[in-house]
Chain A
Amino acid sequence: MQSDASAIDVAVLYQRHGDLVYGRCLGMLRNEADAVDASQEVFLRVHRHAEGFRGQSKASTWLYRIATNVCLNVIRSRSRHPEDPVEEVPDLSPAPVGDSVLDTLALRQLVEQLLLGWDERTQQCVVYHFMDGMTHDEVGELLGISGAAVRKRLARFRIESQARFPCWSGWQGDLSEDPR
């Protein structure tokens, strides 16, 4: 019986951060089955790319980023297949990592709508900032770009979003500076 190093790493990562990944997927996808599938995909990717983790930043950061990207892929896929309804389970969505404001169902639904049509990097910025409450600098660190670059992307996002979704007018001015 043997277990290679990558397998050990994945197991350790799962033990330590599996709840973070699953909570993230549940929060973004709002569907338990999709969240399970997405979590599975995250750890499969980790398994395939375990070597890439060593020596990098915090393991949880790495996993969180992968989970976010996987979930964004799912959301984009959903948008391409609107004929496949998603059975939402609001009571199960991101309760695990419970944010009373950040993770409101309304916010998530709106963000999901807004994400459609934006480039991946902007989508990531939006999710990390508005759903996760990260500062511009934190988002920048996570994505490997500057906080200023994050701020610019979010500002552009805000302007266009307000034009399409007037209910976001309450955001006016909020993004011109790091709210944190």
Chain B
Amino acid sequence: MSPTPPPPHVERTVTPPSPVGTDRTGPPPQQPAHLSTLRLHQLRTGELDPPQARAAQAHLDACPDCRRRMQSQQAFRHAFELQPPPVALPSPSPSPWAALSRWARWAPLPVLVAALALVAVRVVPSPIDAGPDAGPDAGSDTRLKGAQDLVVLVAGHGVLDPGEAIHPGDRLQLRVPAGAWQEAWVGDADGLIGHFELQTDRPTLSPFALTVDGEPGDEHLFVVLSDDPLDEEAAEAALAGRRMDGVSVRRLDLDKEH
């Protein structure tokens, strides 16, 4: 497991202050010398109106510096996504990861956890059997480490590849591919952990992180994917093995090394 990746390298120039755009040999007034940081972000996230987006994109196409800054933003975004927000599962204390993850500091803030995670983290006893044959559709839907469609991301490490193990203190996020599903519920051997809505046009990253505890044995996560909004009771029923139209249960078996 590698430590938190450094932020994207950005060339720094320690020179006397020189406001951007003040080069008198540059473009005429009202023609942006460079796109602002906010404007780049808005272009990247599709927030600009069509005319604004066209203008910004035209500038970007013609400005190597802004393209480099855009790349830097994208790299930072990627690194940011690998630093998940709140913790949803107990973590051994002290966690070696806690010293590395900036977001570990968010964990003690219940209101923010509730707000950001979309879920009230609540462990509900359920009849899930964590054994190898447990869970509905265990045969056809069993996936190891999210192979094929579900992806497990480890903070500071990236995608968990087949054959890789997780470790106590690791913080995991799920990435669900774009598709017909509208909602995902996540559970483990103790029951439901949380749920989140899915984007149908792009992959969705779980808005909460799961911290691997120090208990012996491998981890087994279950992901209930639903074509339609699914309430908690129905999700629990799906985890318990009840078959429902438009609902699929995936199982993730994660090897844990201590």
Contact = CB atoms under 8 A, between A and B. Distances in A.
Contact of A97 (B20, B37, B81, B192): B37
Contact of A40 (B7, B30, B41, B109): B109
A102 B77 CA distance: 19
Contacts of A134: 36, 38-39
B51 interface: no
Nearest to A61: B38
Contacts of A1: 119-120, 122, 192, 195, 231-232
A7 interface: yes
A49 to B, nearest CB: 12
B42 A58 contact: yes
B115 A47 contact: yes
A168 B17 contact: yes
Interface in A101-150: 101-107, 110-111, 128-130, 132-135, 138
A129 to B, nearest CB: 7
Given A97-B69, A98-B69, A138-B36, A15 B207 contact: yes
B61 to A, nearest CB: 18
Interface stretch (A71-79, A80-88, A170-178): A170-178
B39 to A, nearest CB: 8
A122 B39 CA distance: 21
A90 B38 CA distance: 21
Contact of A170 (B18, B36, B77, B231): B18
Contacts of B102: 32, 35-36
A7 B120 CA distance: 11
B177 to A, nearest CB: 16
A170 B195 contact: no
Contacts of A17: 41, 45
Nearest to B205: A15
Contacts of B19: 102, 129-130, 133, 171, 174, 179
A14 B116 contact: yes
Nearest to A105: B14
The residue among A7, A95, A133, A170 with the most chain B CB atoms within 10 A of its own CB is: A133
Contact of B72 (A7, A98, A129): A98
A97 B76 contact: yes
B2 interface: no
Taking chain A's interface residues, is the majority helix, strand, or loop, or is none over half, making it mixed? helix
Contact of A47 (B16, B37, B76, B112): B112
Interface residues of B, number: 67
Nearest to B105: A36
B211 to A, nearest CB: 17
A109 to B, nearest CB: 9
Nearest to A168: B17
A132 B37 contact: yes
B76 A10 contact: no
A99 interface: yes
Contacts of B76: 19, 23, 95-98
Contacts of A106: 14-17
Interface string B4-15: 001111111111
The residue among A99, A100, A103 with the most chain B CB atoms within 10 A of its own CB is: A99
B32 interface: yes
Contacts of B18: 101, 107, 170
A7 B205 contact: no
Contacts of A20: 38, 41
8 contacts: A8-B197, A40-B112, A97-B69, A99-B34, A100-B13, A106-B14, A180-B21, A180-B29
Interface of B: 6-22, 29-42, 45, 47, 65, 68-69, 72-73, 76-77, 79-81, 85, 102-103, 105-106, 109, 111-112, 114-120, 122, 192, 195-197, 205, 207, 231-232
Given A11-B196, A170-B17, 17 more contacts: A1-B192, A7-B114, A16-B45, A17-B45, A19-B76, A19-B81, A37-B105, A44-B111, A96-B8, A102-B20, A102-B37, A132-B38, A133-B20, A134-B38, A168-B17, A178-B29, A179-B29
